[in-house]
Amino acid sequence: MPQQLHQHTFPNGLTLLAERMEHVRSASLYFMLPAGYAHEPADRLGLSGVLAEMLTRGAGPRDSRELAKALDNLGADCGETAGPFNITLSAGTLARNLPQVLNLYADVVRKPWLPDDELDPARDLSLQDLQGLDDSPPDLCLLELKRRYYPPPYNRNQYGTADTLTAITPADVKRFHAERFRPSGAILSVAGNIDWAALKDQVGTLFGDWTGAATGVSVAGDHRPTGGHLAKETNQTQITVAYPTAPFTSPDFYPARGAIGVLSGGMSARLFTEVREKRGLCYSVSASYDQVKDRAAVVCYAGSRAEKAQETLDVLVGELKRLRDGIADDEVERVRAALKTSLIMQQESTSARAGAMATDWFYLTRVRPIDEIQTAIDALTPPAVLGFLDRYPPQDFTVVTLGPQPLNQTW
């Protein structure tokens, strides 16, 4: 059966996306509001995370307990996250309960209480997350890599700092909500066993009189990535590497994913085989795709014993450079199988479909049909991936390490 995709942008700028999935009995919504941490005032970093935590602590006519009970009674599986550009609210429920859940979320988005006495508990959670980084050297190193690699404000993280979190006041939270929770630029995506006409009418009723537009992000244009070392007396050295690759908006996106899949994505991938299995240099090694609005990077990680760290870094970079020497058919076949498996699993999950549609619209201002994605995956071949590597060769590496000693970069 062909996909049943729907899209409508209301006069106030709110975009509604939907996919009817007749074979399921559930439905999920995914609401992206332009209030991520790239939009925070520089002296209030961490504000978006605090706001996300406070949104469900009372909304509309219900206090925190009443709202939680109403959502629980509908069997709603809810979440709130702050990303670089958006605060995302998500909820999954039985399809028949979706209209009631949507009514509740209209209050959460438009009429949250944001009570003054809830600021300290919400801030304490953010401070605990920030303090927890000291016990997670890999996360600490990766955050430092992204801070150095991306230009401001793309290089911020969701945690903020102890000083900026402490400085947040109830008025800051309310002001940020009022300025950023606007319909122009907001995306509401719904997937499941839904009725499009009824959904569109309900969203129009709930949000049609909502007004306003949030300002965009101003990005530093002269930024150049710089590597570095975080000195810490640990038994392990954390190694992170980033280099440019094709952004999500590029026709080269799937060849880029293909190249990363050859490197990482299973026990037969090159980094696992060459760095861990053959040489026993580390327990964990990986490469992944990382993106912001208009740019992307391959981000690599390895954790190694301090005495093996230099060799680990050298072998890791050597494998990145060796990609251009040739790629075997079976390597690309493995990558295609993994991408197809992920695509099939996404088709069976209403929450995954709702998230994918919202992400597509945010980056592309359109929703990619599954057939289009399938065709792009099928087109992955060794020549296609090697052609991509000619256009985006692994080079210009930014390296950040954490451990007792800095490492040399002689390549």
pLDDT value, residue 37: 96
Q: List domains and CATH numbers for the chain.
A: 4-207 (3.30.830.10), 228-403 (3.30.830.10)
pLDDT of 1 higher than 70: no
pTM over 0.75: yes
Tokens of 393: 């060769």
Question: Does the structure show a pLDDT above 90 at 394?
Answer: yes
* Cβ neighbourhood burial of 320 (10 Å; 0-12, 13-18, 19+): buried
Quickly tell me which residue has 């209301």 as its tokens: 10
Q: What are phi and psi of 406, to 5 degrees?
A: -70, 160
Predicted pLDDT of residue 343: 85
What pLDDT does 27 receive? Answer: 98
Instruction: Give the confidence band of 120 by pLDDT, cuts at 50, 70, 90.
Output: very high
Q: How confident is the model at residue 325 (pLDDT cuts 50, 70, 90)?
A: very high
Per-residue pLDDT, 220: 74
- What is the C-alpha end-to-end distance of the chain, expressed in Å? 53
The pLDDT of 134-152, averaged and rounded, is: 96
Mean pLDDT of the chain: 96
Q: Whole-angstrom Cα distance, residue 35 to residue 177?
A: 8
Local structure of 50: helix, strand or coil: helix
pLDDT exceeds cutoff 90 at 348: no
Residue 271 has pLDDT above 70, yes or no: yes
**12-25 pLDDT tens trace:** 999 999 999 999 99
Of 185, 67, 170, residue with least CA distance to 117 = 170
Lowest mean pLDDT among 90-104, 333-347, 353-367: 333-347
pLDDT of 145 above 90 = yes
Output helix, strand, coil percentages for the chain, rounded to the nearest 5: 45, 20, 30
What is the model's pLDDT at position 222?
82
Neighbour tally for 147: CB within 10 Å: 15
Q: Is the peptide bond before 394 cis (omega within 30 degrees of 0)?
A: no
- Whether pLDDT at 411 is above 90: no
Mean pLDDT (whole number) for 321-350:
93
Q: Is residue 168 scored above 70 in pLDDT? A: yes
> For the chain, how many helices (H) and strands (E)?
15, 11
The SS3 of residue 404 is coil
pLDDT at 183 over 80: yes
In this prediction, residue 347 carries a pLDDT of 82
Where residue 69 falls among pLDDT bands split at 50, 70, 90?
A: very high
